[in-house]
Structure 1
Amino acid sequence: MRVDILASGSGGNVIAVQSSGNTILVDVGIAKTKIEKRLLEVGIRPDSIDAILITHAHSDHVKGLPLANKYHIPVFASEGEWKSIKGVDSELKRIMISNQLISDFDVTSFNVYHDAFQPLGYSIVDRVGDKVSVCLDTGKVDSEMIEAMQYSEFFIFESNHETAMLEHSNYPNSVKARILSDTGHLSNKQTAEALSKLVKGIGEKIYLTHLSSNNNLPELAKLTTISVLSKNGFKVDEDYEIQVF
C-alpha cells in the first residue's frame, strides 16, 4: 500500500491511497486542476482513480469534486453529507454504508464528531491486508473510532491546534469555542492521546495533517505525539515513523 498526502490544512485536503494498481482518493478539497497536477507529480493518472471518499461536505474537503464528473469517478459520502454536496452527476453518487468493497479495497466508515450533517472517518484495507485509517475533522475520539482504526499500518490524523496558542489567539471567542468543542477540531494533545491507544510499535507510519496555520507549529505537533508515545516505550524512527503535513 502507498499513501500520498496531496494537500492538507484549511486550504484543502486530498489523500491518495494506492494498492495493486487501484487508487482511491479521500477528500478532494482543492481545485480540480491542482489535484490533477499533484496526482501526476506522484505518478498517478487522474483518469485511473477508482473512487472518491468524502469525509464531510465542507469546502476544504469537496472543492475539487468537478474531478469526478470529468473522469466519471464514483463519489461515496454519507447520506447526511449528500444534503450539502452539489454538482456531482447523479450517476456518480454513492451512499457510503458502514462496510463495503470499493474497487479492490475493503472500506469501513465510522462516525466522527464535527459540525456537519454526518461526517465520517475511514479505515481502508487492501487485498493483502494492509490498512490505512483516516481521521480528519473531529472534536473528539471515542472508543468506537479507536476500535475501527486498530491494527493500521498508516494513521492519518488531524492535529489541528495547540490549545494554548488558540486560547491566546485573536480569533473571536465564538470561533475559539467552536474549535475547542466536541464537534470542532483535535488538539495536538488529543491526537497524541488517541494515537497512544493505537500504535503498537510495529513500524506504523503516522501522518499528522490539517494543522492550523495560525494556532499550531509542525514541530510542536510532532513533538507532542512523540512525547506521549515515548511514555508507552515507543521510539520514533525505531518503532514508528511520523511526518507532519
Structure 2
Amino acid sequence: MQFSVLASGSTGNATYIETEDHSILVDAGLSGKQMDKLFQQIGRDPANLDAILVTHEHSDHIKGVGIMARKYNLPIYANEKTWKAMERQLGTIATDQKFIFEMETVKSFGSLQIESFGVSHDAVDPMFYSFHLGDKKLVLITDTGYVSDRMKGTIANADMYIFESNHDVQMLRMGRYPWNIKRRILSDVGHVSNEDAALAMCDCIGERTKGIYLAHLSLDNNMKDLARMSVQQTLEEQGMPVGSQFKLLDTDPSTPTKLTAV
C-alpha cells in the first residue's frame, strides 16, 4: 500500500491511496484543474481511480468531487446523511455513480479493507477512514474537535497516521478571526490543536507506528515548524520515542507528499 497526501489544509484536502489492484481518492477539495496537477506531480493518472471516498460535505473536502466523478466516470462513496447534505453542491451525478458507505462499517476494494469511523465535527455526519492491507494499517483522521476513546480504539497502533494538527491555541486566540469563528474551532466540533493532537497520539501510537503526517494545518493559526515542535515536545514529555521509532512529517496545502509505502 502506498499513499500521498495530495493537499491538506483549509484551502483544500485530498489523499491518494493505492494497492497493486486498486486506487482510491479520499476527498477532492480543490478544483478539477488543481486535482489533475496534483496527480501529475505524483506520476499518477486520475482516470485509473476506482473510487472517491468522501469524509463530509464541507467545501474544502468536496469542491472537486463532482467534477472528478463526471470527468473520469468515478463512483462516489459517502454515508447517506452526507450524500443529502452535499448532493446539490456536487452537481449532476449519475445514479450508477452514487454509493453508500455508512459509518462504522468496512468495505473491500480487492485486498484493501477500508473501515469508516465517526469524528466530532460540525458537519451532518462526518467520518474518516482506516485502511488495512494484510497486516499494514494507514489511518486518516482530521476535522475533529477531539479524539474520543472510541476513535482511539479504532485507530490504535497504525503503521502510518495522517493526523490533524490544526492550530496553535495562542495564535488562534490572538489572531484576526472573529470570536465566533475562534469559538467554533476551539469547540468539541471544531479542530484539534497541536497539543491536543499530540496527547491523543500518545494513546494511539503503537509498536509498529513508523510515521505521523501532521495534517490540516491552519494557514492563519499555525506553521509547519511550530506544529512539529509542539507535537514533538508534548510527545517527548509523555515518553514517546520521536525520531527513533517514528517520525513526524509535514503536509502542504498545495504540494503533494511523495508516494510512501506503508
TM-score, with length taken from structure 2? 0.89
User: What is the match of residue 67 of structure 1?
Assistant: 68
Aligned-partner Cα distance in 1 for 2:122–2:113: 27
Q: State the match for 2:106 in structure 1.
A: 99
| Aligned counterpart, 2:257 | none
- Confirm or deny: 8 A CA contact 1:25 1:53 kept in the other structure: yes
Q: Work out the percentage of aligned pairs sharing the same amino acid.
A: 36
Secondary structure, in 3 states, of the residue corresponding to 1:80? helix
CA–CA separation in structure 2 for the residues paired with 1:175 and 1:18: 36
CA offset at residue 197 of structure 1? 0.8
Once the two structures are superposed, residues 81-137 of structure 1 have per-residue CA deviations (whole angstroms, 9 ceiling, x without a partner) of: 1112232322111111221213432111111111111000110112x2211111111
Aligned counterpart, 1:140 = 146
Which position in structure 2 is the counterpart of 1:85? 86
Structure 2: stretches of 5+ with no match in the other structure: 252-262
- The residue that corresponds to 1:112 in the other structure is 119
**1:78 Cα deviation from its structure 2 partner:** 1.3
Note if contact 1:75-1:92 (Cα within 8 Å) is conserved in structure 2.
Answer: yes
1:20-67 CA-to-partner distances (Å, cap 9, x unmatched) read 242111111011121112112212111111111111011100011110
1:156-201 CA-partner distances (Å, limit 9, x unpaired):
1111111111111121111111111111111111110111111125
In the alignment, is the contact (CA less than 8 A) between 1:81 and 1:118 conserved in 2?
yes
**Structure 2 SS opposite 1:10:** coil
Q: Check whether the contact 2:185–2:191 (CA below 8 A) recurs between aligned residues.
A: yes
Identify the match of residue 209 of structure 1 among 204, 215, 222: 215
Which letter maps to 1:178? R
- Unaligned segments of structure 1, at least 5 residues: none
Q: CA deviation at 1:230?
A: 1.6
- Structure 1 residues 1-245: aligned runs within 5 Å: 1-65=1-65, 66-86=67-87, 87=91, 88-97=93-102, 98-126=105-133, 128-245=134-251
Structure 1 SS opposite 2:206: coil
Counting matched residue pairs gives 244
Which residue identity lines up with residue 196 of structure 1 in the other structure? Answer: C
Distance in structure 2 (CA, Å) of the matches to 1:53 and 1:224: 31
Q: CA separation in 1, counterparts of 2:120 and 2:208?
A: 29
The two structures have a TM-score, normalised by structure 1, of 0.95
Matched position secondary structure for 1:115:
coil
1:203/1:238 contact within 8 Å kept: no
- Of structures 1 and 2, the one scoring higher in RCO (CA 8 A, sep 6+) is 2
- SS of the residue corresponding to residue 208 of structure 2 reads coil
Preserved contact between residue 123 and residue 131 of structure 1 (Cα < 8 Å): yes
